[in-house]
Every structure is written in structure tokens, then in C-alpha cells.
Amino acid sequence: MLPAMFIILVASAILGYRIISAVPPLLHTPLMSGMNALSGITVIGAIAVFTTAPAGARSIAAIALVLASINVFGGFWVTERMLRMFKGKKHETGGEELPWS
Amino acid sequence: MELKVVLAVLIIAGFLTGIRLMQSPRTALWGNRLGAFSMLFAITWTFVTTGGGTLLSAILFVSLGAIAGLILGQSVKMIQMPQTVALLNGFGGAASALVVLAAIPGSTVEGVEVLFWSTSGLALVIGALTFSGSIIAMIKLQGLAFRQPVQIPGHGIILRLAFLSALLVIILNLAYGGTYAAPAMALIAVLGLLAGLLISLRIGGADMPIVISLLNSFSGIAASIAGLAVTNLILAGTGALVGVAGLILTRLMCRAMNRSLANVLTGFVPGSHKKRNGEPGVTAGEPFGESVGPDHEETGGPAGKTNEEQTGEKPGPDDLPGLLNTAQRVIIVPGYGMAVAQAQMAVGLLATTLEQKGKDVKFAIHPVAGRMPGHMNVLLAEAGVDYEKLLDIEEINPQFEHADLVIVVGACDVVNPAANAADGTPISGMPILEAEKAKAVIVCNLDEKPGYSGVDNLLYEKEHVLTIWGDASEVVPKLIDMIN
């Protein structure tokens, strides 16, 4: 399991670097809030720990569960709301395209 | 075991494809949904494969967090996005720290103890740092407290000591094979919390885009290392993804402000750069970091002092209607001042009104305008501006020389020609929006004080620049009224 884990970690970082670098500045805020939601992935670690930990440690894991879930659901939902507002050209404002050079 | 690997790869591929879709505003919404779906899948799968009597309570806690998260996500305003991201970031960091803490008593790792103790320690310190740093950033952004950067004596040294001590404790704990794990872990957590406090307390407003990006990265790194500690493939991979994303944005933001990360974290204190002599912006010998907080007292009106002979030629308020009505190509430069004045709707209306008169209107967005990467784009999208009109610095800079009119709303440092003209200022070499190249410029800023960098804005003195001081939410509607 360990080699697989390190391979996945490194591969994710490299692929992530290539893909994330190409996200335009226009979308950097939604990118960041989306990434923020992804960091809530720690919720799955919390589930595993919660269900296996001895009773004493369970309350710590419970807090982790709640916080990570807020991170995941809050993060994805604000990103959804934000991206819904990004609208392309369809407003008929009458603006003219002029040559700029 | 094999299935675990396949599923981890599938879920991470889902996240990566989602980010790939975020490369275009047309597909970004579906990218986010794919990410959310992959996440739901990962959570569901974890539930399904986890048995035990505590499963139901786990589902309950996740549902509780989900409801709270959705309420939070629904209730925040777009203008509050930086503090929302900071708060959620803090929660993510705290969760990763708590996961490793909770994993310690039940840990049955045989043979990989070295890996377990080193990764738990690192995840704990980074997670704790992310939590306290993000919460302070959130408090600052929300304007609840610490409006001015706070610096304590020996700030930088204490920060470095906190890091080194945390590392030392991790190594010692490793050496003792976790015999004294409880006090060691408590100490590591406290040191991490202290480091986060120290990092965020001294940060000034305009450095927020850098710090938020950095904390975002840390929350991912904490998750990734926590994944290593509890041997969770999905956690390790996804955390790495977030860590990389945050680092990319941190680097972009640093470059856009012409600052090094070390300089942001330990060196420069905003507002310490003040005009001392007749030449605005050139005070190279002045050391950074001697005073705390923006201090504008020494800045007289540069326009009045140095350019008196030109004042007759400078356009005045009477020229505003003429400028607004004759210009055909207009570029609007928004800055954080627009957000503070909540003038984004008025600015959106200004653009629409100009367009209705047959003018071509574009927006020039500087990477660090606002309090987080891309902040201006979100506010203007909310105000109904088409995203095609929101151009970043590389796209828009060649177009300024063809523009008849530039309207600056609440932006200072990002249009300050001193960045190119003068050496030795905090903004020297910083990429700026070349607004001065337009035929005419209207500046609608709150006052003539310098921006965050403390460098006087050379743009204000230029002959073709008309300045109107005042709250953008009042000034911009007046401009709209002048268009006929």
C-alpha cells in the first residue's frame, strides 16, 4: 500500500500542477474556493478514524467530521453560486466592437 | 486492496477532470459539479466500506456539518468571499490536525512507526498553523479586529523558533518511539497554532491574496500528510493536489506584487514606506519594517506641490461630461476601493450605460486587485458584467495606448507608474496596468493618499489625468448621470 500511496501523491501533484497552471486568472477565486472544498477530503480520513478509534479519541474525530464536512459542503456550494454568475456575451447592451489596434 | 487503489485513482481523476473544466468559464460550473460529485462518491464509498456500530453517528456528524456548510455557503455575500474561503480553509486545516490526533490512541502501525510519527507530527503542526492563521485572516477580512497589522517584539525570530521547536519535538518524539506521544503532540499543536497566529497577525490587507493562497496550500498539504499518517490513498493524493494549487497561486500573487514569500511573511511592514523628499516614490535608503500600520500623515498633495505650473492644463471637473461622451474605447480599472465602497453594481451600470451609447468598454483586472486571487472578477460577474470583458494584465496592457479613456475606480498601486519609473520603492518592478498610456484618465479614488505600498501615485500628477476624490458609490453614479 505504501508505494501505491506515494506514487498517487506524486502523480496527483504533477498532473495537478499542469492542469491548475492553465486555469485563467478570471477564474482564480472559484478555483481557490473549489480547491478549498477539496481540502475537506480529510472528512474520509475522519470517518475511518471515527469508526475505528477508541471511545476516548472519538470525540476528537467527531469534531474533525463536522469541520471537514462544513469545509466540503460550504466550499462546493459557494463555488457553485459564484460560477453561476459568470455569464458570457448574451446581454444585448448595444456595445460596439471597435478595432483596438 | 486492489479495488482501493483503483477507486482512489478514479476519484482523483474525477477531481483533476473537474479542474480541467475550470480552465474555461463556459465549462467551469460543470467542473465544480464533477468535483462535488467525486467528493460525494468518495464519502459514500468510505461509509459503505466502514462497518461498526459507530457508523450511524459518523453519518450524523457529517450531515450536521453538511447542513451547516450549505447554510454558510448560501448566506455569504460575494464580497465576503475572501473571509469565507479563509474560514473554510481553517476548518479544513483543523480537521486534518484532529484526524491525526484521534488516530494516535488507536494506531496499530507496526514497522512503519517512523512514517507514522513523522507524518502525524507534520500534519498536526501544519494543520494547526492553517487553522489559527486562517481564523486570524478571516477576522481581519471581516473587519472584526486587528485592522492594522500587529507586530510583537522579535516577531520574526519567535516565528522561526516556533517552527524549529516543532520540528525538534517531532524528531524527539520519533526518537522515543512515541513513548511521550501525548505531551509531544500537545506541544506540536500549540507551536503550530502560535506560528499561524504570528504569520497572519502581521499581514496587511493588500498582502491577503498571498496569505490566503498560502494557507489554502497548507490546508492541502496538511490533508495530504494526514493521508500518509492514516494510510489513505485518496486523502494523500487529493491533499497534494490542493497543496500544489495553493502554491501556484501563491507564486502568481507574489510575482504580481513583486514580493518574495519570505518578504511577505517576515520582512516588509505595510505603510512603513513614506514619502520623505520632493521626489515621490524614491526613498530607496529607507529601511522597511520600522513602523506598523499605514500612516499617511506625511503625504501632502503631490499634484499640488510638484506640478503647480501644469494645473492650468489639467482637465477639471467641468471636462468630465466631455471626456465621458466623446470617448469611444473605454477601459475601467477596478480595485479593492471599489469593493470597500460596494460600488461594483454602480460600476457595472456605468459600463452598461457607456455601451448603450455605442462605446466599447473593457475591464482591466490586476492579479492582486482585491483581497484574494481573482476577487474583482467575481464582484463584476455578480454586477452582470460579461466575463469576456474582464481582461487580465497581459491581455489588456497593449490596449491602453488605444484607449480614449481609462476610468480607475478604487485602485492605486496597480496603476502607479512609479513601479516602472522609480527604483528602490516597494513597488519598483511590480507589473502594473499601464493606464497612463490612455489619452485621458479619470481617477475615482477615495483620497489622494498613497496605496498600500505607501508610494505616492505618479499617475495623479499627469496632465491628462483627472482626479475625483470621494466614495466610489457616490462618485460613479454622478459619472453615469453625465453621460447623455
Q: Does the pLDDT at position B130 exceed 90? A: yes
Active centre residues of B (catalytic) = 413
Nearest CA in chain A to B72: A74
Q: In what order do the strands lie in the sheet with B390-392?
A: B390-392, B360-365, B329-334, B405-409, B440-445, B465-469
B282 or A51, which is more confident? A51
Determine, yes or no, domain membership for A48.
Answer: yes
Q: Taking the CA of residue B56 as centre, how many other CA atoms within 13 Å lie in the half-sphere pointing to its CB?
A: 1
Q: Does A26 touch chain B (CB under 8 A)?
A: yes
CATH tag, B282-481:
3.40.50.1220
* Residue A78 within a domain: yes
Summarize the confidence of residues A1-20 as an average pLDDT.
Answer: 90
Give the residue-averaged pLDDT of B68-72.
96
Inter-chain CB proximity A19 and B239 less than 8 Å: no
Residue B426 has phi, psi (to 5 degrees) of -60, -25
Tell me what pLDDT residue B260 has.
81
A49 within some domain:
yes
Distance (Å, whole) CA B431 – CA B420: 8
Between B371 and A90, name the one with better pLDDT: B371
Residue B313 confidence (pLDDT) above 80: no
Q: Give CA–CA dist B461/B459, Å, rounded.
A: 5
Average confidence score pLDDT of chain B:
84
Least confident of B293-307, B357-371, B387-401, B448-462: B293-307
Q: Name the pLDDT band for B329 (thresholds 50, 70, 90).
A: very high
Indicate whether A19 belongs to any domain.
no
What's the number of domains chain A is made of?
1
Partner-chain residue, chosen from B16, B224, B375, that has the shortest CB–CB distance to A19: B16
Domain range spanning residue A37?
27-85
Lowest mean pLDDT among A85-94, B25-34, B129-138, B180-189: A85-94
B425 near B413, Cβ under 8 Å? Answer: no
pTM assigned to the model = 0.85
- Rounded CA-CA distance B17/B455 in Å is 43
CB atoms within 10 A of CB A89: 11
Residue A17 domain flag: no
Is B345 touching A (CB cutoff 8 A)? Answer: no
Q: Does A7 touch chain B (CB under 8 A)?
A: no
Output Rg (C-alpha) for chain A, integer angstroms: 21
Q: Is residue A53 part of a domain?
A: yes
Beta partners for B445?
Answer: B469
Put simply, the chain A residues between 53 and 72 with a CB less than 8 A from any chain B CB are 53-54, 56-58, 60-72
The 3-class SS string of B157-169 reads HHHHHHHHHHHHH
Strands (E), A1-101: none
Using a 10 angstrom Cβ sphere, with 0-12 exposed, 13-18 middle and 19 or more buried, the burial of residue B30 is: middle
Alpha-helical runs (H) found in B176-207: 181-201
ipTM: 0.90
Query: What sign for the dihedral angle of Cα B315, B316, B321, B324?
Result: positive
Residue B417 grid cell: 507608474
